[in-house]
Amino acid sequence: MGSAEGREQYMGQHVLLIEDEPNIAEAIRFILSRDGWRVSTYGSGLEAVAQVQSLRPDVLILDVMLPGQSGHDILAQLRGMPDFTDLPVLMLTAKGQGRDREMAERAGANMFMAKPFSNAEIVAAVRLLGADQIGQDGTQGT
Amino acid sequence: MALTGLTGSRVRERRLAAGIAQADLARAVGISASYLNLIEHNRRRIGDAVLAKLAAALGIDAVVLAEGAVGGAAQDMRAAAMIGVGTEAEVDKLDEFLGRFPGWAELLAEQYRRIGHLERMVAALNDRISHDPHLSLALHEVLSAVSSVRSTAAILAETEDIEPEWRALFHGNLHVDSERLAVGAEALVAYLDGSDQAEDTGAAAPQEELEVWLAAHDWHFDALEAGGGGPEALAGEVAGIASAAARSLARDWVRQAAEDAKALPLAAFEAALAKDPKGDPLQLARAFGCDALRVFRRLAFRKGATMGLVICDGAGALTLRRPIEGFALPRHGAACPLWPLYSALSRPSQPVAAVVEMPGLTRQHFQTRAFCDVSYPQGFAGPEVRHAAMLIAHYPVVGIGEAFVPVGSSCRICARGACVARREPSIIAEVL
């Protein structure tokens, strides 16, 4: 999957966005779709792990403050599952303090972004995480 | 005046410091040199009259000469000396300093207390910013809205070929989020304004404010006794307290004091005390058919009462502190773990009585009686709520062989270096 054939590098790669703010989710969905990603969104902390299991995204964007269950808890559960040990995860938080970054790192996030972020930052971050994934797939596949 | 052997040593020290010959001092106060010698070696008690003359001749306050520097100012100055960075205060000359410059000494002690106040206020504000759920909620709301506005506005500004339906959707979102932002910002401003008003008293702890207020009224109100105006008569008084939190505490205190006065009418209560001068709180509680803590409060909060009283909750935090001279109560933080109060707290409904000794240049003794009351405000379904109280009374003479418990105020300002229950090092040099 995700093999680049000279066209859009990320064409068809799948991003799952777990974010309870519908307008933020809509904006991120728009900019990532424009960048060539296939984007799914989910708006709650409950059942979030099940969503990841069934959708199996290439990159996960996870908000920290979610109703039902925090992003940290969700990530901790995912990291405990063999299938998602290496899933690239970008965490979003509205607090952006040192402590949040530390907590995100401890929970196993690959990247961390504080709101309000710029669209270009989000696109760059997701590209970076997606590229890592392609590199891993490539070495495994060929 | 209760004098200890150490007073004589102090007389000798001060006399030598002043360069006065023993015979000259003896003549000045009208006693023989040999008698003064006995006094100086703590072999004779000093009568009040001689003490006053000695103090005058040595140019020192009689109380300081008799008891040494053990008052609140002295304790604060010792503590202040320990936190001094790069300075070496002459702690061993504290008595002399207090005696010769009482005004400066009080100023120093007051500033030390003020620094403590300010430090606690900074800590409280810090706590507030990092832990206040309302503040983080308001900030989160604003940041979320800003985040959405920023992303959406950038899309509208930077996507030249945006489809009309997408553009309409984002315009709509922008409008909704800007409204949300306005509301969030207002809430934040209102919150910050409000916290401004709440902190304007300078006293960070509402409990302390309450105690200052109660002390100013000598810990009782005639209005709450039979025939008085009741709590309503004190509404104006309470309204004069600076912070809202302290006003709320004061209202609770007044309501409880009124209930106590009703359950234990002053005339009958004092008649019962006249029959039993020791005033056993448990027997009084039985006689009046009320709970023990009510009697504890009544013993400490009525006209002319001289007993100290401390009350703590199940976590051991002191919720009420009526001081008594010589028994130093911690201004904040935890108290001495050896207080009978805590023995009672861990053994509800069992009376604990003990003579305790406070450390210091003069070892003062106190009769303490403690009791812990357990209640279940929500019945079987709810939690157990404990309140322990300890009455503190002066105990001037400890008999030979009579047992007492060596206690302190709180570890930080306690001079008992070798205490087995110590939880942190003391800032005070050992003087025992």
What does the pLDDT look like over B273-298, one tens digit per residue?
Answer: 888 877 899 999 999 999 999 999 99
Measure in Å the smallest separation between the Cα of B189 and chain A Cα atoms: 18
| CB nearest B173 (choices: A23, A65, A95) | A23
The token pair that represents A28 in the structure block = 């991120």
Fold of the A14-137 domain? Rossmann fold (3.40.50)
| Most confident of the following: B37-41, B256-260, B363-367, B392-396 | B256-260
Residue range B205-257, pLDDT digits in tens: 788 888 889 999 999 999 999 888 888 888 888 988 887 888 899 999 999 99
Domain boundaries, chain A: 14-137
C-beta separation of A40 from A15 below 8 A: yes
Q: Does the pLDDT value for residue B352 go beyond 80?
A: yes
* B318-322/B308-313 β-pairing: antiparallel
| CB nearest A116 (choices: B139, B146, B169) | B146
Question: Percent of chain B beyond pLDDT 70?
Answer: 89
Q: How confident is the model at residue B362 (pLDDT cuts 50, 70, 90)?
A: low
pLDDT of residue B431: 44
Residue range A89-110, pLDDT digits in tens: 999 987 655 667 777 888 889 9
Residues B322 and B357: their CA atoms lie apart, in Å, by 18
The token pair that represents B310 in the structure block = 């401390």
| Nearest residue of A to residue B154, measured between CA atoms | A119
pLDDT of residue B71: 64
pLDDT of residue A7: 38
| Nearest residue of B to residue A32, measured between CA atoms | B155
Mean pLDDT for chain A overall = 83
Residues B266 and A114: their CA atoms lie apart, in Å, by 65
CB atoms within 10 A of CB B405: 16
Mean pLDDT for the stretch of residues B69-88: 73
Residues 139-168 (B) with a CB less than 8 A from some CB of A: 139-140, 143-144, 146-152, 154-155, 158-159, 166
| CB nearest B148 (choices: A24, A34, A96) | A24
Range in A54-63, B124-133, B301-310, B333-342 the model is least confident about: B124-133
pLDDT of residue A142: 33
| CB nearest A115 (choices: B147, B155, B169) | B147
Mean pLDDT for the stretch of residues B32-41: 89
Which site among A24, A34, A95, A121 would you substitute to test the B interface, given the most B Cβ atoms closer than 10 Å to its Cβ? A24
pLDDT of residue B5: 44
Q: How confident is the model at residue B399 (pLDDT cuts 50, 70, 90)?
A: confident
Range in A2-16, A44-58, B352-366, B403-417 the model is least confident about: A2-16
Q: How confident is the model at residue B108 (pLDDT cuts 50, 70, 90)?
A: confident
Mean pLDDT for the stretch of residues B260-274: 92
Range in B30-34, B184-188, B247-251 the model is least confident about: B184-188
Q: How confident is the model at residue A115 (pLDDT cuts 50, 70, 90)?
A: confident
Nearest to B336 by CA among B393, B390, B395: B390
Residue range A41-77, pLDDT digits in tens: 999 988 999 999 999 999 999 998 888 888 888 999 9
Whether the model pTM is above 0.80: no
Tell whether B178 is within 8 A of chain A (Cβ).
Answer: no
**Record: contact B150-A24, CB cut-off 8 A:** no
Q: How confident is the model at residue A9 (pLDDT cuts 50, 70, 90)?
A: low
What does the radius of gyration of chain B's CA atoms come to, in whole angstroms? 30
pLDDT of residue A2: 39
Q: Does the pLDDT value for residue B259 go beyond 50?
A: yes
